[in-house]
A and B are shown apart, each in its own frame.
Chain A
Amino acid sequence: MKMNLNTEISREQVNYLIDEYRVYLAPSLALLGALALFIVVLIPQIFAFSSKKNTADSETQKLSQLQSAKNLAISEDVVELSSNLSLATEILPSTKDFQAAINDISTAAAESNVVIQSYQLQDTSVQTPLNSYPSLVFSVNIIANPSEAMGFIDNIYKKAPIAEVETVSGNDTSSSLLIAFYYKPFSPVNETTTEQIKKMNQAESTVLSQISSWDITTADVGNFISSESAQENGSPF
């Protein structure tokens, strides 16, 4: 009986409390809901503004680069571009070009009026500031005094493939040179590189005008691309 009495009292109390505080329920739930919405949804969104802005900025920049690339590609003179590319790849080939290097040596010798005594391909690489570029290294002995050897170096510096004389030594009648002929495999062209294409800058224009004055006969770029494509890393196209 005692238990029943307690139950009755509790029900009464509960009913009383519900009646008493019913009016608080709706505003309290609204307040809690607003607070929960603020904490769970709005605060993370507000904190994400910075990263969203960065993403939007980078995408806008990417779009701008792509539009510049498109304008450049449309306005480019394809014939001149092919000719310049052909010249540049003659001067810095993508692969080892033994024949071109030997031609380089013999042409420079002829133009400098020196006689090639001997030449030999070196299998060791030389330590230079340009070590990031692979090279073919030749040891060349010429019958030439120091002045003629300097003339030979001047000439070989204006030939394709591009070369660097690492060491030179000799006497009044002959000289020995260690010559590195540089090459560099092509980097693959993808969407990222498409964004990176830009109009030739001042330094690149200067280099182009310098190498154009070297009087180098170039192969047709179309033939070049198709023949290089057959080799590993020979062409990016």
Chain B
Amino acid sequence: MFDEINLVIKNDKNVPKKEQLERIRLASFLALFLVGILSVFVFLVNLRFSTTGIKNQQSQVLQTLSSYNDTVAKIYVLNSRLDDIGIIMNKRKDYSQDVEQIIKLTGSAVAIENYEYDQQKNLSLSISSSSLNDLNDFLNNLLKLQDNGTVGDVVMTGLKSDPAQGYNVSLEVLTQ
């Protein structure tokens, strides 16, 4: 009976329920607020990264460029041709740097009997002279070219002496 009429005790029982309700209300309010703020943030970021405007500008530029199609094609082809020509010029064998230098060393006293420059950039050379001194000079000058890096390895593969034709030297020169 006491319990039924004591209103204070009844109110005490309702206090946790009200607090709980307040907490849930606060949590839901905060959650909605945060989601709202995040949605605005996402919207602004999406607006910032939107490509619609850029694509419109691209279309306008492409439209302008369409009246210069011929010029654009010529510029593109010219640049790519020049790139290709540059590659070929840089990679093709350059005889003036090494083979021509070696041949110039022979002068008038040393004759080239045979020569062969293969795809591996090896120069096989057979030279002759009536004078060993001239051959010696040629070889010394060739070794100078090797020292300054114009040519690579120089290998003497043969030396012959013939009373009628003089001296003959066979060489293998690896060019760079």
Chain A residues close to B by CB (< 8 Å): 23-24, 26-28, 30-31, 33-35, 37-38, 41-42, 45-46, 49, 52-53, 55-56, 59-60, 62-63, 66-67, 69-70, 72-74, 76, 78, 81-82, 84-85, 88-89, 91-92, 126-130, 133, 145-147, 150, 153-154, 157, 162, 164-172, 182, 184, 186-187, 189, 191, 193-194, 196-198, 200, 203-204, 206-208, 210-211, 221, 236-237
Contacts and interface: CB of A to CB of B under 8 A. Distances in A.
Interface string B32-53: 1011001100100110111100
B94 to A, nearest CB: 8
A194 B65 contact: yes
A217 B82 CA distance: 17
Contacts of A73: 65, 68, 71-72, 75
Interface in B21-40: 21, 24-25, 27-29, 31-32, 34-35, 38-39
- If over half of B's interface residues share one DSSP class (helix, strand or loop), that class is named, otherwise mixed; here it is helix
23 contacts: A24-B21, A27-B28, A28-B24, A37-B39, A38-B34, A42-B39, A49-B49, A53-B49, A56-B49, A59-B54, A69-B65, A72-B75, A73-B68, A146-B115, A150-B96, A154-B96, A162-B88, A164-B88, A167-B116, A169-B114, A194-B76, A221-B74, A237-B70
Contacts of A236: 73, 76-77
Contacts of A69: 61, 65, 72
B160 interface: no
B42 A169 contact: no
Contact of B93 (A31, A37, A78, A164): A164
A207 B46 CA distance: 47
B169 to A, nearest CB: 15
A200 B27 CA distance: 64
A86 B11 CA distance: 100
A208 B49 contact: no
Contacts of A59: 51, 54-55, 58
Interface stretch (B99-107, B131-139, B141-149): B99-107
Contacts of A26: 28
Contact of B32 (A34, A67, A89): A34
Contacts of B71: 73, 76, 78, 81
B119 interface: yes
Contact of B82 (A164, A187, A207): A207
Interface in B85-100: 85-89, 91-93, 95-96, 99-100
A171 B114 contact: yes
Contacts of A198: 79
Contacts of A208: 82
A74 B76 CA distance: 14
Given A28-B24, A69-B72, A186-B77, A171 B31 contact: no
B49 A189 contact: no
A88 B65 contact: no
B64 interface: yes
A24 B24 contact: yes
Contact of A211 (B28, B80, B85): B85
Contacts of A24: 21, 24
Contacts of A62: 58
B111 interface: yes
B117 interface: yes
Contacts of A200: 78-79, 82
Given A69-B72, A170-B114, 18 more contacts: A24-B21, A28-B24, A31-B31, A34-B32, A34-B34, A37-B35, A56-B54, A85-B81, A89-B77, A147-B104, A150-B95, A165-B93, A194-B62, A200-B79, A207-B83, A207-B86, A236-B73, A237-B73
B141 to A, nearest CB: 16
B153 interface: no
